[in-house]
Structure formats: C-alpha cells, structure tokens
C-alpha cells in the first residue's frame, strides 16, 4: 500500500486543533476550531475523495482517541467517511494503549519499532494506508522517508502558534505537485497533492545579471 498523509493546515502550516476549540489544547493551544468557518461542500468533496482511496488507517494515539470518540457515533449509512473509518482496518501506534482500550474495531495496536512496523504494513495488499492528523507520527514518517503522498487542504488563516506540519528541524525535502489534484477551491481554500521528489536536501540557485539581463543559475 502507498502511505498517504492527509491533513488540514493553515497558511502558516499549523495543523493543530482545526475542528473544535477543545480538540487539542496541548501546550496551551487556545485557537482551535479555525477550520470550521471555512468548511464548505467543496472542501467536503475533496476530503471524501481522499477517503475513497483508503484501505487502512494509521494513527497516533491522540488522533485515534479523538476520531474514535466521534466517528462511531455517525451511523448514517451514506456517510462515506464514517463508513470507511468504522469498517476498515486501523493501526494505532502506542506503547501504553491496551487492546481493550483500542475498542474501535477493527484496530491493531502497534507496539514494535515504528519504522519497521510501517514498512511491514506498506507491503500489505491494498491502495492506501492513510494517516489523518497524528502530528507526532507524521514527523517520524517524514524523517524516515516513508510518506508516498501528501494531501493538504490549506485554509486562508494565519493561526500564529501551534503544531506545524513541518516544524523547525524537519528534514529538508522537495516535492512535486500533482497538478490534476491541486487547485484553489471557491472561498480560497487550496487543495494540494504532493509527492516527495527528494529527501535530505533541497535544490538551490541564484539570480544574476548576464549581459544586462536578469537570469537564474541553478546548482
């Protein structure tokens, strides 16, 4: 399976607490719910398109508990997101969560070495192993070069503080934009699909003047 990261971010890259004031108040975060005023049928359509590709889910413990406390209550049979989340295999990374606590069936708790566990999951048949939220987990997956696709909805909001998708100290990387899946939605939300082109370094260049003309030099 491909490993995809699917998340909501602000203009300044924050992914913490987009859906409600009390969603994630860790580190004193008090600006939760910043996404909700910008949600629309257009953003819902994009998110549903993400979930159509899912054959399994991978979560950190916090996101697992958060989503597991909400989506099992959504019983509308035509709700694509609820159907996928409530029926497909779920894997949660935790060294302390018990099998009895992981009662959002079907769920498997991953207690081994994370990178090895994820590599094993990626070898299973299926389309995508999807990560939603799970900030700390995403950092580890990025550093290990395990993410195949990033799908982002970037909202026209500067949150100003909070957990960022790529915080200071992240491994440098270059991405290729999948043009057919990237666009500006009505209302200004940007839908981006990115595939890693290189990890560990970024290309650089400079502007220079050559015979009176502005030019670029790469390398």
pLDDT tens digits, one per residue of 174-210: 999 998 889 999 999 999 999 999 999 888 999 999 9
Q: For 208, left (φ over 0), alpha (ψ -120 to 50), or beta?
A: beta
- Give the Cβ contact number of residue 149 at 10 Å: 20
Residue 219 has a pLDDT of 76
pLDDT tens digits, one per residue of 122-167: 999 999 999 999 999 999 999 999 999 999 999 999 999 999 999 9
Helices of type H across the chain: 41-52, 61-68, 80-87, 114-122, 135-143
Sign of CA dihedral 87, 56, 162, 195: negative
Quick one: which of 126, 123, 138 has its CA closest to 58? 138
Residue 11 has a pLDDT of 98
Q: Which range (9-23, 36-50, 76-90, 193-207) has the least confidence?
A: 193-207
Q: Which domains does the chain have, with CATH numbers?
A: 2-218 (3.40.430.10)
Residue 137 has a pLDDT of 97
Q: What is the pTM of this model?
A: 0.94
Residue 130 has a pLDDT of 98
Is the distance from CB of 47 to CB of 40 less than 8 angstroms? no
59 phi/psi in degrees, rounded to 5: -130, 150
Residue 158 has a pLDDT of 98
Q: How far apart are CA 154 and CA 120, in angstroms?
A: 31
Q: Which residues contact 93 (CB under 8 A, 6 or more apart)?
A: 58, 59, 60, 61, 110, 114, 117, 137
Residue 84 has a pLDDT of 98
pLDDT tens digits, one per residue of 88-118: 999 999 999 999 999 999 999 999 999 999 9
């Amino acid at each position: 399976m491909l490993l995809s990261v699917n998340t909501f971010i602000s203009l300044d890259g924050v992914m913490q607490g987009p859906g409600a004031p009390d969603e994630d108040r860790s580190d004193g975060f008090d600006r939760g719910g910043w996404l909700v005023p910008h949600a629309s049928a257009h953003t819902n359509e994009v998110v549903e398109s993400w979930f159509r590709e899912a054959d399994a889910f991978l979560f950190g413990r916090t996101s697992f508990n958060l989503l597991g406390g909400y989506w099992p209550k959504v019983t509308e049979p035509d709700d694509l997101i609820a159907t996928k989340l409530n029926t497909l295999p779920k894997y949660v990374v935790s060294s302390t969560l018990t099998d009895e606590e992981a009662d959002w069936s079907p769920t498997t708790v991953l207690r081994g070495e994370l990178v090895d566990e994820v590599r094993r999951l990626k070898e299973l048949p299926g389309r995508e192993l999807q990560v939603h939220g799970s900030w700390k987990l995403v950092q580890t997956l990025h550093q290990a070069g395990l993410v195949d696709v990033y799908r982002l909805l970037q909202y026209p909001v500067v949150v100003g503080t909070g957990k960022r998708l790529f915080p200071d100290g992240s491994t440098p990387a270059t991405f290729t934009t999948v043009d057919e899946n990237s666009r500006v939605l009505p209302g200004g939300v940007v839908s981006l699909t990115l595939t890693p082109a290189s990890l560990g370094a970024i290309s650089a260049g400079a502007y220079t003047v050559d015979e009176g003309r502005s030019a670029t030099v790469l390398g």
